[in-house]
Structure 1
Amino acid sequence: MGYPVEFRRKVFKLKEKKELTYEEVSELFGVSMRTLFRWNTRIEIKKKAPKPRAINLEELKNDVRNHPDSYQWERAQRFGVSQHCIQHWLNFLGISCKKNTKTSKSQRKYTYKLPE
């Protein structure tokens, strides 16, 4: 996490007030000179644009309803994403993996259940 904007402003006010060099300010506050030059160019914190989701969450919910016994890697192939991506969004949606006890142990598969 970066330094707060108020701290940045105080650093430059002190620099101007006491007529310090960048090197002196760097030593005083423990901030690199490169960081001070960057702050001088842009004092406000850059905001990152939100990254679009790789999959539509409604489509994922429908896929879980239509194919409750699919493995995560099978869903990943259908959506064209990684298995980790599917795991992350299933967890985000609160969808849990449940054991299918209707089949024998050797044929047992897990099913996914949507939260109530």
Structure 2
Amino acid sequence: MSYSIDFRRKVIFTMEEEGLSIRETAKQFRIGAASVSRWINQIEPKALTTRQRKIDKSELIKDVEQYPDAYQKERAERFSVFEKAIWQALKKWD
């Protein structure tokens, strides 16, 4: 469940106004201290990233030929998948 931005602002405002610690604030609002801590740095929720589910074998082969020394992280970014998906595809297709 995601808390509304208004609620998040209220929590941070109350914490600053009353001089409460993160733990005290969390206890007062009955939420997790990690949430309060995260909201101090970034009040807006992070946008969800969409990743494709399958890697095209021919496209991956072309990518390996074009960038033979590329890191799996770089390939994952190009294919919009997680690094583990690249690792699994490379292992599967040798």
Q: TM-score, normalised by structure 2?
A: 0.51
2: CA distance between counterparts of 1:53 and 1:32? 32
Percent identity for Structure 1 against Structure 2: 31
**Higher RCO, 1 or 2 (CA under 8 Å, sep at least 6)?**
2
Higher strand share: 1
Q: Say what the alpha-carbon RMSD is for the aligned residues.
A: 1.8
The amino acid that maps onto 1:33 is: A
State the partner residue of 1:15: 15
The amino acid that maps onto 1:12 is: I
The answer to whether the aligner puts 1:36 opposite 2:32 as a matched pair is no
State the partner residue of 1:48: 48
Written as runs of structure 1 = structure 2, the 5 A alignment for 1:1-116 is 1-52=1-52, 54=54
The amino acid that maps onto 1:5 is: I
- Structure 1 runs of 4+ with >6 Å offset: none
Structure with bigger gyration radius: 1
Higher helix share: 2
How many residue pairs get matched?
55
Q: TM-score, normalised by structure 1?
A: 0.42
